[in-house]
Chains A and B, each alone.
Chain A
């Protein structure tokens, strides 16, 4: 089951809890098996599996509490230029260690955390992310830009000890 590790990793980031992540993965495979007839050959199997996992999470108690409630005002029209910080980003990244990055990811609102993880950890294309979380590609791009800016801001704070 090559997707098993990826789905579990993603589930842990969503739930932030080992037991819940395990239940979530188990339920995902169970639902996938039950609904395999609805999978359309030729479409993206990975996006289909991640979508089942995400939807299952969103309807769970933690998911309902977790909040996809960040303001999405003018999400499509937002500039996607990287945030400008006083420190050039390459220098910023040189000063970061892995723990700092993990903490910064953890602190991201769920709506940003998932999109960054799908893009950079799962290396999904914008199209695959759009299919997984059921939003238009333009929204994927602007949400990703906002998520990365939030991540940079979080890392900058950690480096400066704010």
Chain B
């Protein structure tokens, strides 16, 4: 497919609305086409700016009470569900509440993953992708001292197909963390390490998923949350994740 054809699909790609085949094709194209990669970065930045600027107005507590009161008053007489047994009505309400909460929670998690994907793409598009350039874990790890409020261990990579390229500071929800860049073949993989959070922004436990054709693996260990993200295949992401898990748990 010609570059112009891919270019016309960049916004749909940023919106995660292309077919699986097109998502893969676009991923391949972006690795080879700097102008399109720059366009994608611009589209992603515009989306994030609109998200931030557009989340602007908060309802007052008084309004919330007013609406709740009105709903309460209106739902007592002659409502269609009044014929339902009370237990069934209560169960239905619980189901609706759970559905709403699950939808909200999923959206929060999707947003957290989207922000990490943005960070990864921005790193790859940057002319200075790492702040500390070294293949030596004993150089990269100490560089973070005093810059982030925690420490971590990095695996020995001798005998593995992975190479450490360096690291940089990353921020998620105004909290600093570490981003480590690993290379395998022509693929670059970002490993993000942040302090764990108790809210619903991060999925509980370990998980592996696919976002915008990037493979993502995440887990918690010792109050730290790890994310491994890249366009390499899921097995490769998992192998690097296992190396990191082994050393962090040793």
Contact A4 B59 (CB under 8 A): yes
Contact B51 A90 (CB under 8 A): no
Contact A33 B49 (CB under 8 A): no
- Tally chain B residues at the interface, Cβ within 8 Å: 50
Q: Which residues of B contact A51 (CB under 8 A)?
A: none
| Interface contact tally, CB-CB below 8 A | 137
Annotate A112-123 by CB proximity to B: 1 below 8 A, 0 otherwise: 000011011101
Contact B63 A148 (CB under 8 A): no
Specify which of B7, B15, B53, B107 is in contact with A81 (CB 8 Å cutoff): B7
A70 to B4, CA, bound (A): 28
Contact A13 B63 (CB under 8 A): no
Residue of B nearest to A100 (CB): B53
Known: A4-B64, A29-B71, A46-B103. Is A82-B59 also a contact (CB below 8 A)? no
Specify which of B55, B57, B99 is in contact with A21 (CB 8 Å cutoff): B57
Contact B107 A123 (CB under 8 A): yes
* Contacts A30-B74, A120-B50 known; 9 new A-B pairs at CB < 8 A: A1-B64, A21-B57, A30-B70, A82-B43, A88-B42, A94-B45, A102-B53, A126-B15, A148-B43
Give the interface of B toward A (CB within 8 A): 4, 7-8, 10-12, 15, 17, 38-39, 41-43, 45-47, 49-60, 63-64, 66-68, 70-71, 74-75, 79-81, 96, 99-101, 103-104, 107, 110-111, 125
Specify which of B7, B42, B74, B110 is in contact with A89 (CB 8 Å cutoff): B42
Residue of B nearest to A3 (CB): B100
Q: How far is the CB of B59 from chain A (nearest CB, A)?
A: 4
Give the interface of A toward B (CB within 8 A): 1-5, 8-9, 12-13, 21-22, 25-26, 29-30, 33-34, 36-37, 45-46, 79-82, 88-90, 92-94, 96, 98, 101-102, 105, 116-117, 119-121, 123, 125-126, 141, 144-145, 148, 151-152
Contact B59 A151 (CB under 8 A): no
Contact B46 A81 (CB under 8 A): no
Q: Which residues of B contact A33 (CB under 8 A)?
A: 71, 74-75, 79
Q: How far is the CB of A135 from chain B (nearest CB, A)?
A: 15
Contact A26 B57 (CB under 8 A): no
Q: Which residues of A contact B104 (CB under 8 A)?
A: 2
Q: How far is the CB of B21 from chain A (nearest CB, A)?
A: 17
A152 to B45, CA, bound (A): 12
Known: A9-B55, A98-B52, A141-B12. Is A45-B100 also a contact (CB below 8 A)? yes
A81 to B35, CA, bound (A): 13
Residue of A nearest to B52 (CB): A98
Contact B17 A9 (CB under 8 A): no
Q: Which residues of A contact B75 (CB under 8 A)?
A: 33
Q: Which residues of A contact B103 (CB under 8 A)?
A: 2, 45-46
Contact B64 A90 (CB under 8 A): no
Specify which of B11, B41, B42 is in contact with A145 (CB 8 Å cutoff): B11
Known: A25-B67, A80-B8. Is A5-B59 also a contact (CB below 8 A)? yes
Q: How far is the CB of A11 from chain B (nearest CB, A)?
A: 8
